[in-house]
């Protein structure tokens, strides 16, 4: 401490510099230089760097947010597509099942109808055959009567009222019946 005092005292009467001397002029210079530098940098120095950095920070944050949003959107779309795909698959199954059921029903219906038609046709054929048979019988019977009458007239021509003749006629008629 005494050394420092000596230094300070010596400072008073002349520019004797030591590492420990405090020169008031240098204090003023320091304040001036520092404040000038501070003002210049405040105006022209720091904003350039800090603004760019802040802008960049903002931009990167924005991009991160956007990426996050895009990811969420993609996940949402994927989910949606999965759901849609699932729905479509279910629907397709349903459509196929319905088509199968319909086809089965149709097949059954067609079979039913075919069978009914066949039945009908058979019925009609049978009826027609019956009718034809009736008609044929009728015609035959008429023919038989005609033939009988013809035969009878023949017989009558030969010998009227003979027992043998009558028997002949009856036998003849019976033979016709059998032939039918």
Partner 1 sequence: MTQAPPPDIGAMIFAHTSDSHVVELPFGLGEWHLPTGWRVVGIDVSPTKHVVFMGLAALLVFLTIRLAGRQVERRHQEGKAPRGFGAAIEAMVLFVRNDVAIANIGHGGEKFAPYILTLFFFILYCNLLGLFPWGATPTGNLAVTGALALMAFLTIEISGIVALGLKGYLTTIFFVPPGMTGALAALMLAIMTPIELIGKLVKPFALCLRLFANMTAGHFVILALLGLIFIFASWGVAVGSVAFVLFMMLLELLVAFLQAYIFALLTSVFIGMMRHEH
Binding to partner 1 by CB under 8 A, coded x per residue (else -) over 4-43, reads -----------x-xxxxxxxxxxxxxxx-xxxxxx-xxx-
Distance of closest approach, residue 92 Cβ to partner 1, in angstroms: 49
Distance from C-alpha of 36 to C-alpha of 111, rounded to nearest angstrom: 108
Residues 134-163 that bind partner 1 (CB under 8 A): none
50 belongs to the binding site for partner 1 (CB under 8 A) = yes
177 belongs to the binding site for partner 1 (CB under 8 A) = no
Between 46 and 142, whose beta carbon lies closer to partner 1?
Answer: 46
Distance of closest approach, residue 8 Cβ to partner 1, in angstroms: 11
- State the number of CA atoms in the 13 A half-sphere of 161 facing the CB: 0
58 belongs to the binding site for partner 1 (CB under 8 A) = no
Distance of closest approach, residue 83 Cβ to partner 1, in angstroms: 39
Percent of the chain that is helix, strand, coil (3-state, to 5) = 90, 0, 10
**Is 148 exposed, middle or buried, given 0-12, 13-18 or 19+ CB atoms closer than 10 A?**
middle
Distance from C-alpha of 58 to C-alpha of 19, rounded to nearest angstrom: 49
Over 8-49, what HEC string results?
HHHHHHCCCCCCCCCCHHHHHHHHHHHHHHHHHHHHHHHHHH
- Using CA atoms, how far residue 5 sits from 2, 10, 16, 97, 141, in Å, is 5, 8, 13, 111, 174
Between 14 and 160, whose beta carbon lies closer to partner 1?
Answer: 14
Between 32 and 168, whose beta carbon lies closer to partner 1?
Answer: 32
Find the part of the chain contacting partner 1 (CB under 8 A) among 45-53, 67-75, 90-98, 124-132.
45-53
Q: Where does this chain bind partner 1 (CB under 8 A)?
A: 15, 17-31, 33-38, 40-42, 44-53, 55-56
């Amino acid at each position: 401490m005494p050394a420092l005092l000596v230094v300070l005292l010596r400072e008073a009467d002349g520019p004797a510099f030591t590492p420990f001397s405090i020169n008031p002029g240098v204090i003023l210079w320091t304040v001036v230089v520092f404040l000038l530098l501070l003002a210049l940098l405040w105006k022209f120095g720091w904003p350039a760097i800090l603004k760019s950095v802040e802008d960049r920070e903002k931009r990167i944050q924005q991009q991160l947010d956007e990426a996050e949003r895009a990811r969420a959107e993609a996940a949402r779309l994927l989910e949606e597509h999965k759901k849609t795909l699932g729905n479509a698959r279910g629907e397709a199954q349903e459509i196929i099942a319905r088509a199968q059921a319909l086809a089965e029903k149709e097949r059954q219906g067609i079979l039913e109808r075919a069978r009914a038609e066949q039945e009908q046709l058979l019925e009609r054929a049978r009826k027609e055959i019956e009718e034809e048979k009736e008609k044929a019988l009728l015609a035959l019977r008429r023919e038989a009567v005609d033939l009988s009458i013809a035969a009878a007239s023949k017989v009558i021509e030969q010998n009227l009222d003979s027992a043998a003749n009558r028997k002949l006629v009856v036998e003849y008629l019976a033979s016709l019946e059998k032939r039918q």
